[in-house]
């Protein structure tokens, strides 16, 4: 690790990563590598998480290629220095904001979207002109191997490198000084990353998770609402950081929505989701055991079937959930969907606000007034109205958390900015100096400066 980091520091110091042409060529090379390795990536995702080829492409490969295209089309504009006003006390001064690369960055990726969440921040790092070390999750072992092979095949190690291994590899990496650490994962490990980075005063982006609520009002389109909730919840077997974690459904439409949810799950995955090529698997026995324990809370009204040998838990709907239980207190991160009802929207908002601020919040309603009330009364990393998860696909919308769901933003321009130092520059005129700027000064000068400061 010492050798890789030192060679990356030397490569960055050479200035080769700074020109527009180098960054654009690197992004093009990355896009070509992804296309060339597509079959290997999809096969690895299927072995690790049971992802179908369509799901693997749509949620991992396709998103990365879109991000690369956005970066390539806009990179010249992003890199252009931005002119701003100078200091008001100095009339002919001029300001400039210049985005400069940070240096050598560390990207620690999770196992649930092991390709997408390794490559997406890497796109921002390359676009901003940095060198980078990527640490994939060892839990998604097959994808880790493909990532390592693909990057080693197309990039010099002194520019982009992949370091494999378990938690000890991450711990050793974090003992080194980086210019930025980008971590995606759970809150517990996020705290350890932040603590380690603090020892070297390294800036950190934390993309964590949390309990993303989904409010269903009585005036929504229940058919579309059910389909979009079922899709977002059970995608990747619920192992999505922004999956709807629990439903808050108006009492008047709860029973109707439950029936629509059942119909949608049947339409998506058939009478036996275990046989469906479109329904994924849990990543590990530890994940299976944790989720199986949660099944004991509340009343299962659909699903609940399990198979430890196959790392399978069926899409599951749960009612009569205790408000102080684990299902309402910890991030589920699996295919269990608790359904709670409300009569008064204010009570539902209070329920949400009593918990840590989530990464995403969903609201299904035709009423603009109700939508605005929910947005104003809650705090979350992002909000998606009348759909789930798809807000991630908009490169124009910076993605990230707030509070315990993390901090920092990426996607599109936000990713470029995250991996850049926004350097402020002031150019001062040599034509004259402001009168009374220099001592000696008196009360008359004080009055002058008070006037100029208005």
Please identify every residue annotated as catalytic: 207, 241
Q: Distance (Å, rounded) from C-alpha 38 to C-alpha 41?
A: 5
Q: Tokens 């991160």 identify what position? A: 333
Task: Give yes or no for a cis peptide into 440 (omega within 30° of 0).
Answer: yes
Alpha-carbon dihedral 269, 273, 278, 280, rounded to 10 degrees: 140
Sign of CA dihedral 236, 237, 241, 242: positive
Here the contacts of 427-436 (C-beta below 8 Å, separation 24 or greater) are 427/86, 427/93, 427/94, 427/95, 427/96, 428/86, 428/90, 428/92, 428/93, 429/90, 429/92, 429/93, 431/92, 434/89, 434/90
Q: Which residue has the tokens 């619920």?
A: 238
Cα 401 vs. chain centroid, distance in angstroms? 8
Q: In what order do the strands lie in the sheet with 204-207?
A: 160-162, 131-135, 104-108, 180-184, 204-207, 406-407
Reading the block at residue 142, the tokens are 């097959």
Alpha helices (H) in 270-395, listed in sequence order? 285-294, 326-329, 345-353, 368-377
Q: Give the strand order in the sheet containing 299-302.
A: 299-302, 316-319, 336-342, 246-250, 213-216, 360-364, 382-385
Q: How far apart are CA 346 and CA 349, in angstroms?
A: 5
* Contact predicate 241/211, CB 8 Å: no
Q: Which H/E stretch holds residue 255?
A: helix 254-269
Sign of the CA dihedral running 217, 223, 226, 232: negative
Across-strand partners of 106? 133, 181
Report the C-alpha gap between 113 and 110 in whole angstroms.
7
Q: Say if residues 156 and 116 touch (Cβ distance below 8 Å).
A: no
CA distance 81 to 356: 38
Distance of CA 179 to the CA centre of its chain: 20
Helix, strand, coil percentages, rounded to 5, for the chain: 45, 20, 35
């Amino acid at each position: 690790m010492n050798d890789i980091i030192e060679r990356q520091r030397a490569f960055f110091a050479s200035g080769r990563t700074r020109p527009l042409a180098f960054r654009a060529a690197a992004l093009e090379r990355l896009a070509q590598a992804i296309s060339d390795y597509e079959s290997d990536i999809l096969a690895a995702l299927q072995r690790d998480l049971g992802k179908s080829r369509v799901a693997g492409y749509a949620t991992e490969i396709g998103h990365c290629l879109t991000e690369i295209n956005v970066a390539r089309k806009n990179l010249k504009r992003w890199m252009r220095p931005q002119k701003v006003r100078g200091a008001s006390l100095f009339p002919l001064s001029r300001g400039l904001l210049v985005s400069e690369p940070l240096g050598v960055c560390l990207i620690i990726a999770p196992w649930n979207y092991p390709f997408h969440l390794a490559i997406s921040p890497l796109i921002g790092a390359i676009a901003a002109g940095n060198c980078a070390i990527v640490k994939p999750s060892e839990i998604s072992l097959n994808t880790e191997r493909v990532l390592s092979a693909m990057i080693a095949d197309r990039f010099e190690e002194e520019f982009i490198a992949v370091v494999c291994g378990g938690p000890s590899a991450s711990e050793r990496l974090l003992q080194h000084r980086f210019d930025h650490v980008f971590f995606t994962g759970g809150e517990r490990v996020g705290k350890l990353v932040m603590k380690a980075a603090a020892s070297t005063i390294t800036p950190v982006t934390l993309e964590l998770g949390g309990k993303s609520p989904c409010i269903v009002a009585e005036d929504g389109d229940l058919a579309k609402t059910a389909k979009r909730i079922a899709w977002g919840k059970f995608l990747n077997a619920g192992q999505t950081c922004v999956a709807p974690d629990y439903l808050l459904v108006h009492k008047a439409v709860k029973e109707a929505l439950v029936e629509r949810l059942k119909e949608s799950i049947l339409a998506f995955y058939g009478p036996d989701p275990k046989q469906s090529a479109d329904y994924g698997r849990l990543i590990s026995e530890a994940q299976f055991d944790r989720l199986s324990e949660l099944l004991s809370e509340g009343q299962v009204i659909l699903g609940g079937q399990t198979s430890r040998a196959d790392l399978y838990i069926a899409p599951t709907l749960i009612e009569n959930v205790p408000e102080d239980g684990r299902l309402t207190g910890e991030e589920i991160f699996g295919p269990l969907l608790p359904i709670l009802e409300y009569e008064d929207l204010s009570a539902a908002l209070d329920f949400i606000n009593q918990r840590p601020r989530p990464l995403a919040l969903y609201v299904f309603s035709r009423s603009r007034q109700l939508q605005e009330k929910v947005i104003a009364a809650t705090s979350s990393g992002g909000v998606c109205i009348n759909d789930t998860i798809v807000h991630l696909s908009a490169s124009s919308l910076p993605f990230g958390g707030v509070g315990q769901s993390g901090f920092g933003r990426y996607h599109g321009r936000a990713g470029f900015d995250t991996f850049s130092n926004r350097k402020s520059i002031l150019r001062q005129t040599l034509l004259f100096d402001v009168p009374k700027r220099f001592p000696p000064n008196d009360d008359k000068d004080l009055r002058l400066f008070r006037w100029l400061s208005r």
